[in-house]
Amino acid sequence: MIVALVACSTSGLTELDPALPLLDPGPDAIDGEFIIEAKLTDEEMEQLGLVRVAWNKVLGMGLYQGDGEASALQFQLGGSARGGPRVEPNRVRALSADPYRSLQWNFDVLDVEAAWALGGRGEGATVAVIDSGVSLIGEDAPAHRVAGWDFVDGDGDPSDENGHGTHVAGTIAQATDNGRGVAGVAPNADIMAVRVMDASGSGSAWDVAEGITFAADGGADVLNLSIGSASSTSVESAAVAHAVGLGVVVVAASGNSGAKTVDYPAAYPGVLAVGATRVGDTLAPYSNTGSALDLVAPGGDLNRDSNGDGYADGVLQETLDGRGTAYLFFEGTSMASPHVAAAAALLIGAGADRASVPGLLTGNARNLLGTGWDKSTGWGRVDPVAALEALPTAPPPADDAPAGDTSAPVISGVDGWRSGSTLIVWWTTNEPTGSWIEFDGYGTFGDGALVTSHELSFTIASTSTYVFTVLAEDAAGNASEDGPWSSSP
């Protein structure tokens, strides 16, 4: 049974006394923002020079914003000591650093923090990891996910049984600034896990083609394929052509045999084929080269410790270790490819049209062996900062431009059904929106297809209670939420 959690309160404000002294809010107070344990009326907000920015009905508190006059009255609204509602300033909270971030030399090479400052962290972009699946059991798993599929076992649970796909997904979008483990290049991008490789790391061209088609048709903006073979197949080629035809950015590993030809699917037309570099921006000796190569990115070299940090120069992420999860160093073009996929997500999150992404990445790569393209490093090492700096700046809207749709969608009729390991939730919206549910502690799941009737199904632990919020976003980007709700055994 699903139950709504509701809380509300009235303000009960007392008359203001201008003679009351102003209390020092402290150095971490956000200027002009106040948290008030009351839902102020329009008259009260007008009297105080405040506007309500947000309201949390569960906590019975609102976030209010005010001008200078309101700031001078921030502790004169009554306060609990005077019998009125509790009032306090909104305060700055700093992100907790990832403790092993210093071992991610690859992130220093790409200058990811500078990229984030330019264009965000991949918000709104969806990257499909077509691989051995993605495990969610670690303490530092990607925080933003959408529904995927398992083409090995034929079900909706693409959990990893090998570890390769989890490591790859971590490079793209590991949970970041959470005080745990490591970081991801585009940590706010959504990960779509598509399992096409079994526990031993083997799969078939048919399943890979099925995975590519599923992800492309399911709304993925970027596909990462850290898989490959020296042989091409017509079914993979057709699937890649289908995805590229939909405008999806397809990224794949060049291969790890040191060959002078690029593996498939990286060698198919329209795919960004990625080779590997090691510390010092030099080509890794195992990296396949050739006429189909487009870019290189950090892939590591476990035979060296060039930076003297006491660890082999691999790419570090959380993944499976046979007993659970651990932070492990891997090497390979499989590790290089997700850096490029994540850079594509950063561009899309910053507003780049998907069709422009391959050109932005190749045209702004850091050339390592001279000028122009070469068969060993392609157009050079991917440089997300330079690519973001090359994004065209949109002109400001004309003063007489129409305002457009600014109304948030209305969510109603939230209900659900639960039996054993299955949870189904359904609801409606007054206009077409995406279908999303954010579970406390697990992340966000759903898809962006614009509909008014919504239904999502989840595989759950039959003995656990789940708390979640229903989310909606329309075509104009207006968003709303409803909840939180809970589902108990």
Question: In the chain, pLDDT over 90 holds for what percent of residues?
Answer: 59
The neighbour count for residue 149, using CB atoms within 10 Å, is 22
Six-digit token string for 366: 């850091």
Measured in degrees and rounded to the nearest 5, phi and psi for residue 14 equal: -95, 165
pLDDT band at 333 (very low <50, low <70, confident <90, very high): very high
Give the Å distances, CA to CA, from 359 to 21, 129, 267, 302, 486.
60, 22, 17, 32, 46
Q: Considering only 122-131, 170-179, 464-473, which range has the smallest mean pLDDT?
A: 464-473
Asked if pLDDT for residue 326 goes beyond 60, the answer is yes
pLDDT digits (tens, 9 = 90+) for 74-87: 444 444 444 556 77
Mean pLDDT over 54-82 rounds to 65
Radius of gyration of the chain (CA): 25
Mean pLDDT over 293-319 rounds to 96
Q: What domains can you pick out in the chain, each with its CATH number?
A: 2-91 (no CATH), 101-389 (3.40.50.200), 411-487 (2.60.40.10)
Element (H, E) at 211: helix 205-217
Q: What is the pLDDT of residue 376?
A: 96
In one letter, which amino acid is 100?
A: Y
**Structural contact between residues 290 and 259, judged by C-beta atoms closer than 8 angstroms:** yes
Q: What is the pLDDT of residue 250?
A: 98
pLDDT digits (tens, 9 = 90+) for 256-282: 999 999 999 999 999 999 999 999 999
pLDDT digits (tens, 9 = 90+) for 351-390: 999 999 999 999 999 999 987 899 999 999 999 999 999 9
Mean pLDDT over 289-307 rounds to 96
Task: Identify the bridge partners of residue 320 per DSSP, sorted by sequence position.
Answer: 325
**Structural contact between residues 170 and 217, judged by C-beta atoms closer than 8 angstroms:** no
**Structural contact between residues 440 and 467, judged by C-beta atoms closer than 8 angstroms:** yes
Element (H, E) at 44: helix 42-48
Read out DSSP for 407-465?
PPP-EEEEEEEEETTEEEEEEEEEEEEEEEEEETTTEEEEEEEEEEEEEEEEE--TT--
Alpha-helical regions (H) of 145-204: 164-173
**Structural contact between residues 278 and 299, judged by C-beta atoms closer than 8 angstroms:** yes
Catalytically annotated residues: 131, 164, 334
Read out DSSP for 222-234?
EEEE---BSS--H
**Structural contact between residues 97 and 179, judged by C-beta atoms closer than 8 angstroms:** yes
